[in-house]
Structure 1
Amino acid sequence: MSIKVLIAEDQRMLRGALASLLDFEDDIEVIGQAGDGAEALSLIAVHKPDVCLLDIEMPVRSGLEVAEEVKQRGYSSRVIILTTFARPGYFERAVQAGVQGYLLKDEPSERLAEAIRRVMEGRREVSPELVFGTLSSAGANPLTEREREVLRLAADGNSSNDIASKLHLSYGTVRNYMSEILSKLNAKNRIEAITMAEEKGWI
């Protein structure tokens, strides 16, 4: 039986190239392609692929958010994240989301096909460059899940009042969270904190 694969990648040419290359493999069948994270989740729910190849940075929902959702919903699909970035926060979140593969986008197609097979056997596949890049980068994410949530909402342009309303918190509590975030990141203001956290892949 073929391994059923779903590809989610917002660059159409790259998505098509990946699909064509994998379709050359006798034991791999590309059953769906998505251009953003929301479309990927819809296709995963319908087609229940064996393996999901997810670009880490996509519109609407990122590959990491899709991976987290796949785990939360209890889907059996295995997840391989494709990235060009060796950011410590990304790798940390990928591990927490239970992804089985974390690979560079420019891996040779044979390596990608082999990674899909190994992941189906229950193994984990990680590009060595990504691990070394992560280990050489400074520090783990100092922010709690709630602090990340507050900062993500701030990054989306929400005011403290908006954040308080969306998270069912008081304005004062949100202000305290933001103060703690600035302190932990040694940032002068929320813009600097957002920039820093995004660069590290922490939100």
Structure 2
Amino acid sequence: MAKTSKACKVTVTLASRNEFRRLGLEQLLQRIPLVESFTSYEGGAELASVAESETDIFIIPVEDLDESLVAFIARLPEHSKTLLLLDRVSDERVSRIAAVPAHGFLSEHDLGVESLADALERVSAGEVPMPYELTMKLLRRAGEPYRVDRDRAPVHLTPREQEVLSLLVDGLSNKQIASRLHLSQHSVKRLVTSILAKLNTPNRTLAVARSLREGLVHRTASREPEEFTA
């Protein structure tokens, strides 16, 4: 594993009611150069006091999620990101998982020093790491027949937002989109935020799923997709 410079390091907060999982994660975090420091809590109730902290990334198991913890994630400061740990990706859980405004997902079955380090690095870089199984289930759901909701207002995206949405579907991170469109990362972040608001979706994952399901992005055979990072 490449050594990470101090300027790129992140602070991490993890929360889990399962003591065995919590201790295991602590041991992994101690071995990751990217992690400058970390704190751990037994559950969501204890996280209320750190909502305005300087934590860069929160690690939370999906099985611990309840309404209060989802609300906690939703009100986190803009600089904080959330990595969800998935114990399983059943069809019944897909909607629940996708509805959480998280920034990345990691299967506990693949959990190790390298996989956790990679997920933390990608989340920090603005990408959305996601297990293959979850990716396929979301894309399959996006391909299901869509029933038009006559009460839902039509989505009106600007030409630039259309460009950004198309690149989101291709799995590009904010940094990659900025490079492709010759924009600043701040501008791309603002455009992504606007797209999420217009699509009424809490995260990039659901934005991509909805845009594909409703035909908001037109793919062409001649277009070469980038490596899928969402």
Could you tell me which residue of structure 2 aligns to residue 16 of structure 1?
A: 23
Could you tell me which residue of structure 1 aligns to residue 63 of structure 2?
A: 57
Change (3 A) 1:106 1:42: farther
Could you tell me which residue of structure 1 aligns to residue 168 of structure 2?
A: none
Query: Contact between 1:86 and 1:131, CA under 8 Å: does it hold in 2?
Result: no
- Secondary structure in 2 matching 1:124: coil
The TM-score, its normalising length taken from structure 1, stands at 0.57
Could you tell me which residue of structure 2 aligns to residue 124 of structure 1?
A: 128
Q: Report how far residue 64 of structure 1 moved.
A: 7.1
Q: Describe the superposition over 1:30-66 as per-residue Cα deviations: whole angstroms up to 9, x where unpaired.
A: 4211111111333343x331000101122xxx16752
Could you tell me which residue of structure 2 aligns to residue 114 of structure 1?
A: 118
Could you tell me which residue of structure 2 aligns to residue 97 of structure 1?
A: 100
Identity across the alignment (%): 21
1:36 equivalent to 2:43? Answer yes
The TM-score, its normalising length taken from structure 2, stands at 0.51
**Structure 2 residue runs without a partner (length 5+):** 1-5, 146-230
1:69 equivalent to 2:76? Answer no
- Secondary structure in 1 matching 2:136: helix
**Alignment length, in residue pairs?**
137
Change (3 A) 1:85 1:66: same
Change (3 A) 1:115 1:64: farther
The structure that is helix-richer by fraction is 1
Runs (4+) off by over 6 Å: none
Distance 2:90 2:24 in 1: 25
Distance 1:136 1:64 in 2: 27
Distance 1:71 1:85 in 2: 23
Pairwise CA RMSD: 3.0
**Within 5 Å, which residues of 2 pair with 1:177-188?**
none
Q: Report how far residue 112 of structure 1 moved.
A: 1.2
